[in-house]
């Protein structure tokens, strides 16, 4: 075999090996969606719905993703009671039980027409009436490719949706900028 053919063969082998390794760097990551239903005192009751854009329930076991993916995940809250209430939602991000910030791995398209961020909570800007379902909190999750690298390989990225409600009857909001009303549960660190 001539020297130039050997050189081409070696370059081809290196290219094949690099292709093999670069394919492995695109291995799957897992994101798990989990809803936490919080029921407050009295007769306030609600349910968090997590669905895909196809209208099916978001898989409880999560989905496998690669950096840069956009995952369909539509979150709404349905009133299951006869009383109106104020509602807030907290999004908790993590990786294998360690908390991260949203910028570390997730980018969400929060529906700012109906949900406003204050003190780490997204407050519904209206009152949830009896047997009503809120507009979507968000409809998809983008996996931030520049932040989610191979160190995440085989780990579970989590996005927990936690919601709290307090009655709105005879309980006016005393400060519209901070959604101050009586009865919000105190957070325990």
Neighbours of 167 (CB within 10 A): 20
Instruction: Report the alpha-carbon distance of residue 129 to residue 147 in Å, rounded.
Output: 40
- What's the rounded mean pLDDT across residues 124-134? 94
pLDDT grade, residue 2 (50/70/90)?
low
Instruction: Report the alpha-carbon distance of residue 70 to residue 72 in Å, rounded.
Output: 7
- What's the rounded mean pLDDT across residues 53-65? 85
In this prediction, what percent of the chain has a pLDDT beyond 70?
71
Mean pLDDT of the chain: 75
Decide which of 104 and 161 is more confident. 161
- What's the rounded mean pLDDT across residues 40-57? 82
φ and ψ at residue 102, rounded to 5 degrees:
-60, -40
The H helix count followed by the E strand count for the chain is 2, 12
* pLDDT value of position 16: 45
Instruction: Report the alpha-carbon distance of residue 135 to residue 126 in Å, rounded.
Output: 11
* pLDDT value of position 134: 97
Q: What is the dihedral angle through the alpha carbons of 15, 19, 25, 27, rounded to the nearest 10 degrees?
A: -170
Neighbours of 31 (CB within 10 A): 22
């Amino acid at each position: 075999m001539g020297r130039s053919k050997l050189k081409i063969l070696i370059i081809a082998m290196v290219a094949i090996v690099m292709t093999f390794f670069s394919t492995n760097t695109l291995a799957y990551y897992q994101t798990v969606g989990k809803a936490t239903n919080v029921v407050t005192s009295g007769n306030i009751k609600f349910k968090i719905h997590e669905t895909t854009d196809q209208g099916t329930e978001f898989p409880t076991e999560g989905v496998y993703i690669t950096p840069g993916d956009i995952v369909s995940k539509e979150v709404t809250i349905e009133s299951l009671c006869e009383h109106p209430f104020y509602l807030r939602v907290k999004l908790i991000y993590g990786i294998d039980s360690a908390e991260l910030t949203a910028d570390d791995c997730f980018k969400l398209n929060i529906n700012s027409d109906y949900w406003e961020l204050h003190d780490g909570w997204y407050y519904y800007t209206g009152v949830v009436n009896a047997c009503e379902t809120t507009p979507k909190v968000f409809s998809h999750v983008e996996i931030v490719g520049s932040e989610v690298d191979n160190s995440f390989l085989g780990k579970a990225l989590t996005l927990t949706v936690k919601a709290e409600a307090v009655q709105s009857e005879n309980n006016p909001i005393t400060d519209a900028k901070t959604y101050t009303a009586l009865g919000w549960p105190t957070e325990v660190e």
